[in-house]
Structure 1
Amino acid sequence: MNHNLVARHIQDHSSAENEKYYWGYPSRVVPCTNDPGSCEYLDGVYWMHTVSMLYTFILWAVIGGILLIIVLGRLVKPHKRALTYGVQENEKQDFVYRIWRSTASTSRRYLLPESFPRLFPNTTRLQILILAALCVYLTIFSFVGIVYKTWITPVKNSTKHNTRTGLGGFSDRLGALAYALTPLTIGLSTRDSILSLLTGIPYQHFNFLHRWTGRIILIQSFIHTIGWTIIEAKLYQPQPKVYNDFIKQTYMIWGIVAQGFISFLFVFSLRPVIRWTGYEFFRKSHLVVAGLYLGACWGHWDKLACWMIASLGLLGIDLGLRIARICLIHFGYKDGNKGLGFRACKSKVEAFKDPSGMIIRLSFTHNHEPWKIGQHFYLTFPALSIWQSHPFTPASVPPTALVPPSHTYIIRARNGETGKLATLAESASNNKGASPETPVILTGPYGCSVIDNDVSNILAIAGGTGISFTLPVVIAALADQSPHTQNVEMVWIVRHVENLLWIAPELLSLKSQLEPHTTAGVNVAERKQEGQVTVRRSKHFRIHIFVTRASETSAHPPHISDKDLEIPFASSLVSLSADSTLQELIKPHRDFSITPLDHSHPSISSIIDSFVDETVENGRTRVAASGPAALGTDIRAAIAARNSGSAVLAGDERTDVDCIWDDRMG
């Protein structure tokens, strides 16, 4: 490889008086003994390479600086202080806290909504802004520092001439930037992401940038390839000898292989192709081909192998931690004193059928470390396939005591594994209503906690099976005995009223906590604490159900005695026990409502505005939501409109509304 590079760069190392080392590039013969034009060209080539290396270091210095600022910001972030009783309505938080929250509110107002939906569907302006900044940087530094000049140099023992330009340095610049971007692209795709550890942002929110940085690398690699093809097949003489010798070189063969791998990654990550080949093929092939691509890049230009080593290291750490997570959860003493070994979770599968399809309720108990509210697990069903895993958010709350955690998952049955689960559950329910069991393997937990003790008001909005994400948020907020959160509201948008049976036990428990409140929903209890009198408020809790296809349902069963409610529901058929449970679920209450809609959806902006305007606490509001992508679009727009940095700075915390969106639904 070095011999071929030497020949390409018209330098005679065997008779060199001295050689100058260049990091990431072949050494240069000094002094230059070629013709003046060739020597001047070599001056330009090596200078452009030095500048290219500088730009790759600057790129990572900027990335590191941004991460450092985020980490420091998380460490020094001011927190809300408790206000004293008697002057609570007039007293403000300290100025530093208000500045911090005002900045956050202003950024949400302008950066939370979505833009360019056709090109960037369901993507916030913040993500687009980050991508635009990266593209601007790469564009500027791809063209700055290039020697824009042409040299016509003679070919030895020939009457032909070589045309030497800055195209080679430009092509190498794009290749170097593509190599430098590779660890970032890998880091944006891993589940155990160091970026999540540093920023506190769940790894799935990096998927957008992972896809687009990968596409940027694809574009850079294609231009790099086209540039050198033009040089070796057209500008250098004599042809076709020069090109034939060039394309046979080992490093060029690896370059062609790498180009094929990255083209595969792009084509098979397109949504239509994923739908055609299946998501699991995409996941497995993407991982394998990505590793092969990194190895091919290493073989193509081993002088910049540091970027590939870092990328392979990130992949290896991620895979290693996945295996470690599985071992920590599933290896231990088996039931029945059978010794140490692998223990799969034995889960009960229940199915609920409605005109829109089938829903699976998966529940089991397994002894392992509890997760945090908002985190999710990857579930594998070995009885169906050991090669597939899917992310699901538990609809249950992790225990606070030393007891085995109970998992509950609400999963919409689609094609593939979830469809097989539905078939399993339905066949069992038709067989005397029995609930089948199936083994489950967990990997996780992944993601970050969504609990913030500085939040005073929580609005949970779910669409369909998105209730898996919002239900634990509501349950945890109500169970919290601290005075942080005072107003909690759960909004659930379903297609049919029978869908309430998905979470019947949890919903009945929540309805039992709907207690009457005093005026304005506040019960004041005075207590002395360190010589001051503080306020303790009872939580104001409401539930709103919206049924979007009410006209198709007939869920108004006759009243059945409370004794019938003790019969467990385990069938997808609307049996007598299910009817009685549903009757109990839809009982009216002043803080519980079911609103039928005729093939329409509720106004999300009205829901958010009403909740914020009616809160009795002048404090921050958090909207935790999950559901279809269109619901996320409406929520982002409505929340952005409610934020006002100037009002927050003036002390009105009602205009400080943030959003936690989760789109992993069953």
Structure 2
Amino acid sequence: MSSTPPSPSQRLGDPNPTTPAFEDGHQWITAYLEIHALSHTTWRYAYFLWFGIGMVTLAVAVSNLLGLSGSTLGAYWNKWAFRRRTWRKKHSLANAKKSGQAHKQPFLFPSNGQLLAFSSLIIASLAATFLGPDYIAPSHQLFRRAAVPDVTAFIPQYTIEKAWWSSGNRAGLVAFALFPLCVLFALKRPPFAIFAIPFFTNRHADHLIWLHRWLGRLIWAFAALHVTFWSVQLFKDKRADTDHIAYMYAWLFQRFIFAWTAFILFTLLILLSLGPIRDKYYDKFYALHVILVPATIIMSALHHPPLWWWCWLALLLWAGERTWRGVNWLYLNGFLGSSLSVPPIVKADQKRLAPGQGWEMNSLFSDLETASSKPQFYRHHRLSSSTHSLLPLNATTFSIPVGYAHAEILSGRTIRLRVITPGHLTWAPGQHFLLCIPALSKFDSHPFTCASVCDTQKPGNDGRTIVFLIRAKNGWTKRLWTTVVGLLARGQRHLPGQIPAGATLPATGVLLRAWIDGPFGSPVRTDWGLYSTAVVVCGGSGASFAVSVLEYLCLCMAGRDGWSLGGTVGRGRNFSIRRVRFIWILRDFAHMQWCASVLYRCQSLLPPEALQLDLFVTNFNPPVSQPSLEASGQTQFDATDTSFPSTRAIEVKGVALDKNDLLEAQMPDDDYVDLSYYMGDYTENGELGHEEHRLDLTNFDGDNDERVRGESTLNRALKKEGTLRRAITRKKKESRRVKRSSGVPEVPPLPREAGIPEDPAPPSSEPLGRKRAGDRSSMSTASIASQTSSMQAMMREAVEEPQLELDEQEMRDISIMAEFARPGRPKIDLILQDEASTAGGRIVVACCGPTTLNAVVRKGAAALMDPSRVRRGDKSGSIGLVVEEFGF
């Protein structure tokens, strides 16, 4: 390159410096691009950007350490930041129904907190790109670097305000500087996932992944500006001796080729990450993502070595976290040696409903419920209730071989997977794992929330059993469902060659090799002990998150140390939660099978005033309306319902019930149930501002509502069982009220043996709160004679179709829980208001469900935030929100 002194135009500050003449085109373009590079002092814009990011991060970390979320300032912030809005095109539900399309959730906008965070990043990045001069003279002292010895004299030594090439360079500088932040938002495991470090911001990838996606798109936008501005400059500038545009010579420069390679790879990365493509082809998206991310970063680094440390830092974080997770994965799945050596053993056989065996509830539960109502059973139940699998307490099953998954078919086209890893691990309630089934694919892993609680103090493997509830959709989950159903249809309990030597095969379900990575997720950061009341809300398969949280809370309230259960409470700290309200919105009654055993165990741990269970079933038809009651909006019992006898009265366990009793048992007895939206398929204006559908609160996008064999029969049986149980409970309550009003003394209960709790009979399903003053009686767990239809016809269907496999104890749990399952949709805002009005301190709301439920709960929680009450010292005005979603 020539050492000709600068031209007069350069000394005067020409924004387009002169390039000396060279005979060789490669030398000319090399000199041209070297001259048009940013000065070292201009890099200060990237430093300023990171200084701002660091200050905000530090403020969040300090707020986290000081617990400012419960302060007045935190209440003001949460009241605004919690809210998320949804949008659905008018009449889209009706149009989808006509065209036969599956139900689609409304579009969910980011929360106010997310919008503020991303808007701040956009503003800061734009400021770093366009505010101030583009090119700062090297003579400026701030952040000045030592001069490079071979710097040509043609490099501008003066400040340039604006030019196509200088603006393009600044856009590229900002894009480079944001690479590490984008990678940090996606990392899952500390210490490489810096934001997830507990004593720092304690924000995990599930709450930052939305920012990761949109920051990636923002970086691409700045890269596109860089390409566009530089393209304009290269088309404008010409080589003096040939009069050819500089763009022609740029292809002779190797780093220019690296630039276009990086931009093309980056563009592919962004396109393949778009929601429709990502959701439909997740496996391919993930594989290409793992390939394209490092390729884009490496090509970007080779494009401009003076700034490549930003790229190498991003790549180091990405590769380091992947390596760290890989080592943990090898240990966890036994490739580095198993920490367990437990031979598979067989426990006592359990009585199951075999194909071809008809059954009715009235003949099934009598002996089981009578036996389970003894105080001795309750004492055993209370002490051993930390059996963390979604099976009945005393269910006798085989021991799952370590490293394998036991897959069983449940209602709602759902697979229950129970896994025990060879390596020890602990997890917090509500966290998720990445699950890989090698029989489906050795390279695809998918996130699923764990529906069980770990117990480090429980002997054996039961306390380490990871339970997943996986509902069949499309893609990987559909392949899993097809594999399990296909094996069962052929009478196989495992894939050929995939079973450990000497292992005992399960009586139900199949064994599949399984690999686990995790745990991950922000629920680990929740300090449940800071609150006095917990409201747990879930919809559909979101129960996986909710039941693990519920079981953890109930065990802690019953006296267990939360530290040994994977939580943050323990080591001498008091657990302050005194009341839990559990709200589960189900599509069908049969879906109670997913979690009924856990709910029954939790109910047995706590008195009625400490735990309230509310289950709402949205897929039902209200009873037939009678003309005399239509004006008032009430409905009458359907006389054509074959589930009940046509006589005017029936007698169940010595309690006479007429049709009025059955009617009252089907109708809401409080203000918490909404039946208005059952008048049509959707409403024009829902509470979130868009038309609503009965599936909005229960179905995630892609959920398959096809029923398996036996599910319809189970639905009818459970609906009837719940009606009868509620009717008897109300009848007994009314009888006691009459006795008290007439002055007849009640027979006092027999004295209990010291140390033996009272009979754990399920309490009435009448909610506390608005009717909390009323007497809440307990119904005997003796059998209720339900007149159900025989399942013989169902059993004779084609064996290729999947079939529910239920044992007696699991059916007992589902039957008891049927009393708490009421038709209708909950008025969540009223429920939250009721709990807030009676809470003695801070309230925490935990939620997992479809888009609409997420928005409804956020809206209700935000409405309850009252900074003025917090300012006066009333902590009930502060609401904590724990949401299982990919966004905060």
The code of the aligned residue for 2:43 comes to: M
**How far 1:34 moved relative to its partner?**
2.2
The answer on 1:258 being equivalent to 2:281 is no
Q: How does 1:253-402 map to 2 (within 5 A)?
A: 253-276=257-280, 278-331=281-334, 332-333=337-338, 335=341, 345-354=403-412, 358-366=413-421, 368-401=424-457
Kindly indicate whether the alpha-carbon contact (under 8 Å) linking 2:538 and 2:847 is maintained by their aligned counterparts in 1.
yes
State the Cα deviation string for residues 167-210 of structure 1 (Å, max 9, x = none): 21111000000000111111111222211223112211111111
Shift of 1:429: 4.8
SS in 2 for 1:53: helix
Give the aligned residue type for 2:194: I
Any conservation in 1 of the 2:208–2:886 contact (CA below 8 Å)?
A: no
**Which 10-residue stretch deviates more, 65-74 or 192-201?**
65-74
Q: CA deviation at 1:46?
A: 8.3
* Paired position in structure 1 for 2:484: 425
Aligned residue type for 2:123: V
Counterpart code for 1:630:
T
Task: Indicate how the Cα distance of structure 1 residues 402 and 302 shifts in structure 2: closer, same or farther if over 3 A, else same.
Answer: farther
The 5-angstrom pairing of residues 169-208 of structure 1 reads 169-192=166-189, 193-197=193-197, 198-208=200-210
- Residue 554 of structure 2 corresponds to 478
**8 A contact 1:459–1:488 mirrored in 2:** yes
Maintained 8 Å contact 2:172/2:222? yes
Question: Conserved in 2, the CA contact under 8 Å of 1:122 and 1:633?
Answer: no
- 1:373·1:451 contact (CA, 8 Å) conserved in 2? no
| Alpha-carbon distance, 1:619 to partner | 0.5
Aligned to 1:495: 587
Q: Which has the higher contact order (CA 8 A, sep 6+)?
A: 2
**What TM-score results when the alignment is normalised by the length of structure 2?**
0.59
**Shift in alpha-carbon separation, 1:582–1:477, aligned structure 2, 3 A:** closer
Distance 1:312 1:651 in 2: 48
1:646 equivalent in structure 2: 868
The answer to whether the Cα contact below 8 Å between 1:460 and 1:470 also exists between their aligned partners in 2 is yes
Cα distance in 2 for residues equivalent to 1:514 and 1:147: 67
Amino acid at match of 1:549: N
Q: CA deviation at 1:258?
A: 0.7
Larger radius of gyration: 2
- Asked if structure 2 preserves the Cα contact closer than 8 Å seen for 1:380 and 1:388, the reply is yes
Give the 5 Å matches for 1:66-105.
66-77=56-67, 101-105=71-75
The alpha-carbon deviation at position 240 of structure 1 amounts to 2.9
Report Cα offsets for 1:248-291 as digits up to 9, x if no partner.
Answer: 21110000001101100111111222245x10111111121010
- Cα distance in structure 2, aligned partners of 1:583 and 1:35: 89
Q: Deviations 1:373-413 (Å, cap 9, x if unpaired)? A: 22211111112211111111211111041643112111111
Within the alignment, does 1:658 sit opposite 2:880 as a pair? yes
SS at match of 2:844: strand
1:395, 1:409 within 8 Å by CA — same for their partners in 2?
A: yes
What is the TM-score with the length of structure 1 in the denominator?
A: 0.77
Aligned to 2:615: 545
Q: CA deviation at 1:658?
A: 1.6
Partner of 1:110: 80
Paired residues of 1:122 and 1:629 also in contact (CA < 8 A): no
Q: Which amino acid aligns with 1:418?
A: T
1:167 to 141, 158, 164: 164
Q: CA deviation at 1:483?
A: 4.4
Distance 1:337 1:171 in 2: 65
Q: Which residue of 2 aligns with 1:594?
A: 821
Letter in 2 for 1:607: I
Change in Cα spacing, 1:457 to 1:421, as seen in structure 2 (3 Å) is same
Query: Corresponding residue for 1:464?
Result: 540
Q: 1:549 to 1:579 in 2, by over 3 A?
A: farther
Question: Following TM superposition, by how much is the alpha carbon of 1:301 offset from its aligned partner in structure 2, in angstroms?
Answer: 0.2
CA distance in 1, matches of 2:108, 2:521: 22
In structure 2, stretches of 5+ residues that fail to align are 18-34, 89-105, 136-160, 345-400, 492-506, 560-573, 622-711, 725-780, 786-801
Q: Which amino acid aligns with 1:199?
A: T
- Displacement of 1:124 in angstroms is 0.8
Alignment of 1:447-458 (within 5 A): 447-448=521-522, 449=524, 450-458=526-534
Distance 2:484 2:6 in 1: 80
Root-mean-square deviation (CA, aligned residues, Å) is 3.3
Distance in 2, Cα, partners of 1:294 & 1:365: 38
Partner Cα separation in structure 2 for residue 422 and residue 116 of structure 1: 32
- What is the CA–CA distance in structure 2 between the aligned matches of 1:660 and 1:444, rounded to whole Å? 20
Between Structure 1 and Structure 2, the one with more helix by share is: 1
How far is 1:49 from its partner?
A: 3.9
SS at match of 2:529: coil
Tell me how far apart the structure 1 counterparts of residues 162 and 546 of structure 2 sit (CA, whole Å). Answer: 60
Contact 1:51 1:145 in 2 (8 A): no
Contact kept in structure 2, 1:254 and 1:296, CA below 8 Å: yes
Q: Helix, strand or coil for the counterpart of 1:396?
A: coil
Counterpart-to-counterpart distance in 2, 1:346 and 1:563? 39
Provide the C-alpha distance between the structure 2 equivalents of 1:112 and 1:286, rounded to a whole number of angstroms. 31
Counterparts of 2:279 and 2:555, CA distance in 1: 42
Provide the rounded CA distance (Å) in 2 between the counterparts of 1:453 and 1:647.
21
Q: Is the 8 A contact 2:600 2:817 kept in 1?
A: no
C-alpha distance in 1 between matches for 2:886 and 2:618: 21
**Contact map agreement 1:504 1:581 (CA 8 A) in 2:** no
Change in 2 beyond 3 A, CA 1:47/1:423 = closer
Letter in 1 for 2:83: P
User: Letter of the aligned partner of 2:618 in structure 1?
Assistant: T
Instruction: Tell me what 2:236 maps to.
Output: 234
Q: Partners of 2:810 and 2:576 in 1: how far apart?
A: 38
Question: Is contact 2:430-2:451 (8 Å) kept?
Answer: no
Distance (whole Å) between structure 2 residues aligned to residue 478 and residue 337 of structure 1 = 32
Deviation of the 1:663 alpha carbon:
3.1
Q: Give, in whole Å, the separation in 1 of the partners of 2:827 and 2:343.
A: 56
Matched, 1:139 2:126: yes
Supply the distance in 2 between the matched residues of 1:102 and 1:431 (Cα, whole angstroms): 63
Shift of 1:563: 13
Match of 1:611 among 832, 835, 844: 835
User: How far apart are 1:225 and its partner, in Å?
Assistant: 0.9
* Structure 1 residue corresponding to 2:716, chosen from 554, 566, 570: 554
Q: 1:417 to 1:144 in 2, by over 3 A?
A: closer
Partner in structure 2 of residue 125 of structure 1: 112
The amino acid that maps onto 2:52 is: V
Q: Distance in 1 between matches of 2:110 and 2:174?
A: 25
Quick one: distance in 1 between partners of 2:331 and 2:862? 41
Asked if the contact 2:536/2:583 (under 8 Å) is kept, the reply is yes
Q: Is the 8 A contact 1:349 1:360 kept in 2?
A: yes
Q: Partners in 1 of 2:476 and 2:175 — Cα distance? A: 37
- Cα 1:456–1:561, aligned 2, differ >3 Å: closer, same or farther? closer
Contact 1:514–1:542 (8 Å) recurs in 2: no
Cα distance, 1:76 vs. partner?
3.6
Q: Is residue 9 of structure 2 the alignment partner of residue 36 of structure 1?
A: yes
Partner of 2:765: none
Contact 2:433–2:449 (CA<8 Å) still a contact in 1? yes
> C-alpha distance in 2, partners of 1:495/1:211?
32
